[in-house]
Structure 1
Amino acid sequence: MKKLLERIKLCKLPPPQRRSLPYECYWEDSILTQEQERIFSNQWLGLGRSDRLENPGEYEVFELCGQALVLIRNQDKELRLYANTCRHRGAKLLDGTGQCQAISCPFHGWTYSLDGNLMHAKTMAENPSFDFEEHSLIEYKLKELQGFLFVFLGNKPTDLSKQLGNFSELHQPWSMNELVTTRRATFEVQCNWKAFLDVFNEYYHLNNVHPTSIDNLYNKPEEADKTTGDFASQFGFTAGTGALLEVDQINALPIMENLEAPWSLGARYSWIFPNMTFAASQEAIWVYEASPITSMSCRIRQSICFPKNTTTLPGFKEKSQSYYQRLDDALDEDIVALENQQKGLNKSTSLQGQFSTLMEANVATFSEWYANKII
């Protein structure tokens, strides 16, 4: 482990000399354990967009970093996040998605309000030492910012505004609070969670992995932006919109209102450390959250969003299909490359290549941030 930590220190060198993460960070189980303790339990984690589960009682069940969770909207239309575990003897409470008036355990019938309070536990009122208030569902802190949802899984939540620094200022031109999500998807990829986020944040692979789909749309990016929080961001000009395939540019939807040049002429790729990334283009944003399943596989949640007034335009339903097709096609190409990369990484000796300073700027910034967290 000592030798590995010495190699991780190379990720803290100045950008021209900085090395990529040691290969072990992409397959070693002990590293994933360190990530759970030093990163996932001590950072606000991205949960994608907050505009979901519109009605009281609507819920969705998912796992994040091995924890079974249920996201639900309460009677006051506030989102709440609970451990998907009964406080009696640990049974799973809910599955999938749905809507309920209360959360009832299928094992012994303990029933909780949408605010997580235990309302009914048969025969337990007969026990004078039983306190209903002590048996509420385990709840995790949630916060919303710029239309994004964040959770803190640890015991001592930190300051989200400090974690994100100048994030809101840098992304203000896109009016992200006003965007609505039109499609979501969840899937698994046989690669380390960091590898998935890496590939979304670098231009270096485009002409090899996406030669006929999106490569010709992207010009050489601008220098990475100066950020004061735990995130990286880089803007680049595009020929047309990067949100569509080269062959579908005719289906481009209107540019966002009040989005001016240069931002209306390209796309900004941002990575909120550790686990959420997105691209903000001229007329849409698309978001990915990555969560480890094992050290060599991950679960991905994808969202795509448009301005509300765009979604009401005639022909939006038809044209939006071209945007979804672009996501699907580019993703299919990326997954082939990622799963091939994982096969090369597995059990390999750490060689640690250097970054292309401009073309892999966000990935290099994450590498330094990660090294500071792990060491």
Structure 2
Amino acid sequence: MNTPKNVANLLQDISAVALASDDALFSMPPQVYCDEDLLTLERERIFRRDWVCVGRADEIRDPGDYFTSDLDSVPILVVRQKDGSILALVNVCAHRATIVATGTGCARAFVCPYHAWTYALDGTLLQAPRMGKDFDSAGVGMTQAQLTEWNGFLFVSLDPDARPLLPRIVSLDHAVADYRIDKMRTLHRETFIWNCNWKILVENGLEAYHINATHTDTLAQVAPVSKVRMVDGPADCFHYTSGLSDSFVPDKPDPKIAIANPDIDEARQREAVVGGIFPSFVFSVSGDWVWWISMQPISARSVRVDHGLCGLFDIDQDLIDRNHPNLYFLDLALAFNEEDRVRVEAVQRGAESGLARQSRLSPLEAATKRLAAYLTQSLEN
């Protein structure tokens, strides 16, 4: 693919952001949030090649449990196997390419609703009715996609030769090791569409500079920006640490619902880690809960957002009491999500004005430099 001149110029601008001194950080040019040609390159070299989070392992706890998703417009089916492992299948029938499964559920096998071709949990073709005696089903089945798990999060890649994810994010392993994220249960899940470029939302999720102004009555009351410390690291991931406000004292865990975590002491309970795995996964873990989002571009000006909240609580989603003091974060997260939506959509409108310019950034916005380094590494390859 020949790179259009406008995209080549934007790649040079992005590279300059990545190479800037830590003492003189500056933003990416507004055009990177609006250019459809750049998005075409991002989809080809990032979202078709790298790892994107599609959900959590605890959402499919038993053999046959499954959920469906999409990765760069490719339908994906994630299934718990009989041996307890998890596979990701391209959710397309090998016969006439219709979608095989929808939504979530539990199945012994998958029957295509079009012509009743039947597949095992691993995508192997089991039955193809009335195909004739000479039909050979050997090697026929649903295509497998790459899947890897990190702390209970499931990442899928469409590239069979994708660079392994886990060796690239070791620094994040050390940062969150005490929190037992892999043992947490999903308490809330939703998917929504916001009217902004995917990179705007990644930057917003990983910078702390906006917290006190944007989240004055919500997040800033719990974890103010004064507690933030940026952490250096590789181009494939990013994180910073924070702490709870001195005036914020969470209730003691309720033994009726809480899962004990002997790995974390009281001081660590009052810390938080905000992190991201590029291209588009952002999370925050504090004490016994995690907020996360995973983003995929729909267009240069809109993004699909998969969002979840998890916690060290042994409770089903259907039985959640949102007024329980240990579950304060459920409504808190919904509130600051909406505050972020308003701001990132306003940034998109400003970027599209044609009058916005690059600007110096605060040290609390260091993630922009790291994202630019990741983009340079991925897009110029």
TM-score scaled by length of structure 1:
0.88
Question: What is the SS of the residue equivalent to 2:230?
Answer: coil
Correspondent of 1:209 among 189, 195, 214: 214
Q: Any idea what the Cα deviations from partners look like across 1:208-232, whole Å, max 9, x if unmatched?
A: 2222222233142443223246110
Q: Any idea what the Cα deviations from partners look like across 1:298-329, whole Å, max 9, x if unmatched?
A: 11112222224699xx9887235532110111
> Per the alignment, do residues 157 and 3 of structure 1 end up closer, same or farther by CA in structure 2, a change over 3 Å counting?
closer
Correspondent of 1:360 among 357, 365, 376: 365
- Paired amino acid for 1:351: R
Check if 1:109 corresponds to 2:116: yes
Cα RMSD over matched residues? 2.6
Q: Distance between the aligned counterparts of 1:252 and 1:289, measured in 2?
A: 30
Q: Any idea what the Cα deviations from partners look like across 1:42-77, whole Å, max 9, x if unmatched?
A: 322223432111222222222122111111222223
Q: Distance between the aligned counterparts of 1:77 and 1:309, measured in 2?
A: 20
Q: CA deviation at 1:349?
A: 5.6
Correspondence for 1:230: 236
Question: What is the SS of the residue equivalent to 1:372?
Answer: helix
Q: CA deviation at 1:289?
A: 0.9
Check if 1:58 corresponds to 2:61: no
Correspondent of 1:288 among 286, 293, 300: 293
Check if 1:20 corresponds to 2:27: yes
Q: 1:296-307 counterparts in 2 under 5 A?
A: 296-307=301-312
Q: 1:317-328 counterparts in 2 under 5 A?
A: 318-328=324-334
8 A contact 1:221–1:234 mirrored in 2: no
Q: Distance between the aligned counterparts of 1:174 and 1:38, measured in 2?
A: 33
Q: Distance between the aligned counterparts of 1:361 and 1:118, measured in 2?
A: 49
8 A contact 1:288–1:301 mirrored in 2: yes
Q: 1:1-375 counterparts in 2 under 5 A?
A: 1=6, 2-12=8-18, 13-127=20-134, 130-217=135-222, 218-228=224-234, 230-239=236-245, 253=253, 256-260=261-265, 262-308=267-313, 318-346=324-352, 348=354, 351-357=357-363, 359-375=364-380
Q: Distance between the aligned counterparts of 2:356 and 2:250, measured in 1?
A: 46
> Per the alignment, do residues 293 and 325 of structure 1 end up closer, same or farther by CA in structure 2, a change over 3 Å counting?
same
- Paired amino acid for 1:230: D
Q: Distance between the aligned counterparts of 2:172 and 2:235, measured in 1?
A: 7
Correspondence for 2:257: none
Q: Distance between the aligned counterparts of 1:310 and 1:121, measured in 2?
A: 41
- Paired amino acid for 1:170: A
> Per the alignment, do residues 141 and 31 of structure 1 end up closer, same or farther by CA in structure 2, a change over 3 Å counting?
same
- Paired amino acid for 1:17: A
> Per the alignment, do residues 77 and 125 of structure 1 end up closer, same or farther by CA in structure 2, a change over 3 Å counting?
farther
8 A contact 1:51–1:180 mirrored in 2: yes
Q: Distance between the aligned counterparts of 2:33 and 2:65, measured in 1?
A: 36
Q: Any idea what the Cα deviations from partners look like across 1:222-259, whole Å, max 9, x if unmatched?
A: 43223246110100122159xxxx7xx66564795432
8 A contact 1:143–1:150 mirrored in 2: yes
> Per the alignment, do residues 88 and 56 of structure 1 end up closer, same or farther by CA in structure 2, a change over 3 Å counting?
same
Q: Distance between the aligned counterparts of 2:100 and 2:133, measured in 1?
A: 24
8 A contact 1:234–1:362 mirrored in 2: no
Between 109-118 and 341-350, the greater mean CA deviation after superposition: 341-350
Q: Unpaired segments of 5 or more residues in structure 2?
A: 1-5, 255-259
> How many residues in Structure 1 have an aligned counterpart in Structure 2?
364
8 A contact 2:67–2:105 mirrored in 1: yes
Q: Unpaired segments of 5 or more residues in structure 1?
A: none
8 A contact 2:208–2:228 mirrored in 1: no
8 A contact 2:275–2:284 mirrored in 1: yes
> Per the alignment, do residues 156 and 131 of structure 1 end up closer, same or farther by CA in structure 2, a change over 3 Å counting?
farther
Q: Any idea what the Cα deviations from partners look like across 1:246-274, whole Å, max 9, x if unmatched?
A: 7xx66564795432365322211001111
8 A contact 1:267–1:281 mirrored in 2: yes
Question: What is the SS of the residue equivalent to 2:17?
Answer: helix
Q: Distance between the aligned counterparts of 1:84 and 1:366, measured in 2?
A: 31
Question: What is the SS of the residue equivalent to 2:226?
Answer: coil
Query: Identical aligned pairs, as a percentage?
Result: 25
Q: Distance between the aligned counterparts of 1:325 and 1:334, measured in 2?
A: 14
> Per the alignment, do residues 63 and 309 of structure 1 end up closer, same or farther by CA in structure 2, a change over 3 Å counting?
closer
TM-score scaled by length of structure 2:
0.87
Question: What is the SS of the residue equivalent to 1:344?
Answer: helix
Q: Distance between the aligned counterparts of 2:140 and 2:332, measured in 1?
A: 47
Q: CA deviation at 1:31?
A: 1.2
8 A contact 2:47–2:71 mirrored in 1: no
Q: Distance between the aligned counterparts of 1:60 and 1:310, measured in 2?
A: 20
8 A contact 1:117–1:133 mirrored in 2: no
